[in-house]
A = this chain, B = another copy of it.
C-alpha cells in the first residue's frame, strides 16, 4: 500500500515542516537549515528519507542540492499535500517557518547562485 509510505513520511515534525515550506517553491539544504533553524545533518537525513520514498525530487546546482516537490505527484500524494497545507494554517510552528522564509527570501535570492526561491 503506497499510502502507508506517504503517511510514514508525514509522521515526523521536521519532515512536515520541510514539506510545508517546500510548497512555496524549491529550496536547497542550507536554506532549509536557516528557515527551520535545524542542524544540517537533521535536514539532510530527513530530505534523504523523503527522497527515497518519492515525496521530493532533487537537482544539483553546483554545490547546492535543490529540493522540490514532485513535478507529477500521484493522486494520493497530491491529496495529502493539500491536506497538510490546509491543516498547517493554524499551527504556530508552521506559521513561524513561513514567516522566516518570507523574511529570508531576498537574502537567499542574492547570496546564492542556486536556483532556489
Interface of A is mostly: helix
Counting chain A residues whose Cβ lies within 8 A of the other chain, the interface size class is 20 to 34
Q: Chain B residues with Cβ under 8 A from A75's Cβ?
A: 87, 90
The number of times this chain is found in the oligomer is 2
Beyond contacts A10-B10, A76-B87: 8 other A-B pairs, Cβ-Cβ < 8 A, are A3-B16, A3-B84, A4-B11, A4-B13, A7-B10, A7-B11, A11-B11, A75-B90
Cα distance, A12 to B75, chains bound together (Å):
19
Given contacts A83-B79, A83-B80, A87-B79, contact A93 B1 (CB under 8 A): yes
Given contacts A79-B87, A83-B79, A87-B79, contact A12 B3 (CB under 8 A): no
Cα distance, A13 to B5, chains bound together (Å):
10
Q: Closest residue to A87 on the B side, CB-wise? A: B76
* 18 A-B pairs with C-beta separation under 8 A: A1-B13, A1-B16, A1-B91, A1-B93, A3-B10, A3-B84, A3-B87, A3-B88, A4-B10, A4-B16, A7-B11, A7-B16, A8-B11, A10-B11, A11-B11, A75-B90, A80-B83, A80-B87
